[in-house]
Structure 1
Amino acid sequence: MVLQIFLVATTTGYETCESDRKMEEQCRLHNYKTVKPLLDYFRQVRNEIEQSETKEKLISELNSDLMEKYHEIVRIHETFIKEAALLNEYKNKVIKGENDLQLCQNKVDKSESEINSLKEQLTDKSTNLENCQVQLKSVNSKLIEKDENIKRFSENIKNKTEHQKALELELKKSKSIIIKHEKDIQLCRSENNKLNRTSENIREEQKKIQLKLKECETKLDQSHLDKLTPTTCIPFGNNPGVHQLNVSGIGLFKVLCDSQLAGPGWIVIQQRVGGNENFNRDWATYRRGFGSFEGDFFLGLEKIHRITSLQRFELYIHLVDLHGSTYNARYDDFKISDEDNGYALSLGKFDGAFIANGMRYYKNMKFTTFDHDNDKNDDGNCAAWFKSGWWYNACSPCHLNAPYASYLRWLDTDKIFLLKEVKMLIRPREEMKK
């Protein structure tokens, strides 16, 4: 465009100068002034064009280099991707190898633990084997000893066999003697019959004498039996202490008889005089009885049941408080049922000296121990709570088997007696009336 403008301007200038030659000089001056800036500009543009061509060549060369480098970068990228894929594959293989190594390590650890366990078992078995060897030696020695005992027993058996044969011979001799005596007895009977036939009066007298003898023998045997095997302390009278009774269902057993607190004939069934006995016992122990007659004791539920089932008994309770004051309570029909009915308590009418009927809470109640819960308490076992067996109702605070200090007490109408000594005694009521 600049070049076209320059040509147009030049052509116009020449035509003007040709038409007006007179003003040639002026045209020349005018043309020079007009064209010079354009020429300068043209030169400048030409230089810039040359520079731009040079730059374009440079740019094209740079573009070609850039393309080559781009292609090279693409090739490197593709190579990098391939190598990255290979690297990931190697990583996966390494991770798999590590996992396999970890599994192998776990197997090795497990194997080591199993080996250690086997070693321990082997050690234990070795110890057991040694113990078995020791026991085997002991058994062998015992077997040798038993063999010797068997030999001795065999010799004893032989001796006893020989002795038995001698006894059999003696028995035969005795039988022959008995047969001879029986014959003699038969002869005597025949002679006696003859005598009886000849004398009826003598025979009647003999019958009377025999009847009297039998009556005397019966009376003597009964009195002797009563003295030897009494069922209560009545026969011992004012002779207190430990005596032996013979009660049906139990047989012979010892009791403590008392004749000082309330007269003769009392059996002590429970005693608390020092706190040297633990009354927190199970059902079987209370059934059997425990303690010592010299200190605290409980006679036993089964013995008390068997004794009181023979006849009517009265109960006498002797109490001593912490200040030394004494009190007593009586019940006129004391007994306890059998074990199937829980050794339930019966008392009868109350009679007390300066004390209220503290046992009324337990009338008709079954016996309770920490392993036999028969009470009416909904919150737990009273025997476990108070650490003693008793005929609990609902854990009322008047139980004579309780621990010493604050629990051994008697409940009155308006106060509680704290006790240091308790005795429960029974005696036949019907016999005392007689």
Structure 2
Amino acid sequence: MKRMNQTKKTVKPLLDIIRQLRNKLEQSETKEKQISELNSDLMEKYHEIVRIHETFIKEADLLNEYKNKVIKGENDLQLCQNKVDKSESEINSQQNIILKLKEQLTDKSTNLESCEVQLISVNSKLIQKDENIKIFSENIKNNTEHQKTLELELEKSKSILIKHEKDIQLCRSEINQLNTTSENIREEQKKYQLKLTENETKLSQSELDKLTPTTCISFGDYSGVNQLNVSGIGLFNVLCDSQLAGPGWIVIQQRVGGNESFNRDWATYRKGFGSFESDFFLGLEKLHRITSLQRFELYIHMIDGNGNTYNARYDDFKISDEDNGYVLSLGKFNGTIYDGMRYNENMKFSTFDHDNDKNDYDNCAAYFKSGWWYKSCSYCNLNAPYGPLLRWWDKSYKYIFNLKEVKMLIRPKKR
């Protein structure tokens, strides 16, 4: 635009000159030839000026086009600069992240070295475990063979048990007949006693005590709660059982419900606790007094989680007095399971507040949360909490019978 203005300014004076020359030519005829020549020259110059003007216009257009390109280039340059600034900030951020990663990598390298040391240790332990697994595999193979032998013995025991049950049924029918006869005899005795005078029938208290039962034998086939009178204790209730192994058994311990805690102190185990309808322990002092009267046998009835039934029988069960720690005596064993109680024989009773076991590291009663005749500690614990701890080991001490129900019963040993 500036060039166009300049062109106009340049052309205008020339036009003025042309007008003046024309005026002079009109006034001077003599100078017509010169004016004519000048006009022709001026016309040429005019055409040249017009061409120059057109050239200027084209150049101005080109200049505007270049200017627009320059402005666009500046805008593009500004955008590039913004991108460069953004890239620089991102690069700075990435460099900071790289520095942090380098620090973390250094820490990881240190941890990796530590892990490599631990890995070496773990590998050595794995090698040892592989060796142990081989040993365990051999033991499992032996146990499988042993289990097959036990299954055969169990089948034999079941057949013997079925025979015994038939014998028991025959005995019960005979006992029922005897009970009927006994009822008739009692009726005759009542009639006879009515005829006696008061002085003849009056007995001393000591004689009445002698007539009060000291075992469940006196109650025959009756299963339920009865009252005994034992010297040193007096009258107390017991649960009699005539179903599991014949008549006359006193239930001294029972695990059938899992509702009773056996994690009790010495005084509670001495006295006894629980309910005859669920779980209970008769009491150490009662057991001592009862087993001091005569020779008793112990019968243990067990049912595992799969419903399999086992029993263990000892022919001379006895508990010493409190001063000696209620030491356990068992006698000879017979049963359908391994003699697991033998490990506990001649041991004092232990509770969490009376540690009488031979374990130098732990209090077995506190660890297993139950009182028992622990040694170090036990291969069977019939007072343990319900679950994996209520168990009985087999002969190889590798297989565990997890128990669901347990009953311990005693009765006088037949002569």
Normalised to the residue count of structure 2, the TM-score between the two structures is: 0.50
Normalising by structure 1, we get a TM-score of: 0.48
Q: Which has the larger radius of gyration?
A: 1
Higher helix share: 1
